[in-house]
Amino acid sequence: MANVIPGVGDPVQSRCTKCKRITRHFVVSLVEGKPVRVQCTACEGIHNYRPAKVPASPRPATAPRRRATSAAARSEAAAQEFEEAMGEKDRTRATAYQMTGTFRSRELLQHPTFGLGLVRKVVPPNKIHVLFRDGLRTLRCAG
């Protein structure tokens, strides 16, 4: 159940019959706290509220979802993954990244360009996969 009860004039996502897609609407009238009539901001048509499919609350980590996501969504996911991975780490203990360095899985490193990163995987002979805030990168290391 949504915690926020919309009011008249509030923006909601609704399927628009004229635009034939999910567009931004403003609530025109409500019944028992639920939008009934909405106005499309794209075509200005007023019609019944057809709720856009609301994604289920935070997806379980165990459910892999193979969906075409935009680059923005991917980088957002990376940032979230990064934050989650970093949550349990002492950020002050990051090792300065050098191509000549050796790194272990789950080690924190500080990259001069990409910033703080977490070693996700060591790939022999001389590469590491590192999770940065903006995504996963492959870096050189001494192996």
**Which residues are near Zn ion by CB under 5 A?**
16, 18-19, 40, 42-43
Q: To the nearest whole angstrom, how small is the minimum distance from the Cβ of residue 24 to Zn ion?
A: 9
E strands present in the chain: 11-16, 21-31, 34-40, 46-48, 95-96, 108-111, 115-123, 127-132, 135-140
Which H helix or E strand runs over 71? helix 71-86
Q: What is the DSSP letter of 5?
A: P
Q: To the nearest whole angstrom, how small is the minimum distance from the Cβ of residue 33 to Zn ion?
A: 24
Answer yes or no: are the C-beta atoms of 61 and 32 closer than 8 Å.
no
Which of 35/117 has CB closer to Zn ion? 35
Which of 42/73 has CB closer to Zn ion? 42
Which of 25/97 has CB closer to Zn ion? 25
Answer yes or no: are the C-beta atoms of 128 and 138 closer than 8 Å.
yes
Q: To the nearest whole angstrom, how small is the minimum distance from the Cβ of residue 55 to Zn ion?
A: 22
Q: At CA 138, angle to CA 135 and CA 139, rounded to 5?
A: 120
Which of 8/43 has CB closer to Zn ion? 43
Q: To the nearest whole angstrom, how small is the minimum distance from the Cβ of residue 39 to Zn ion?
A: 9
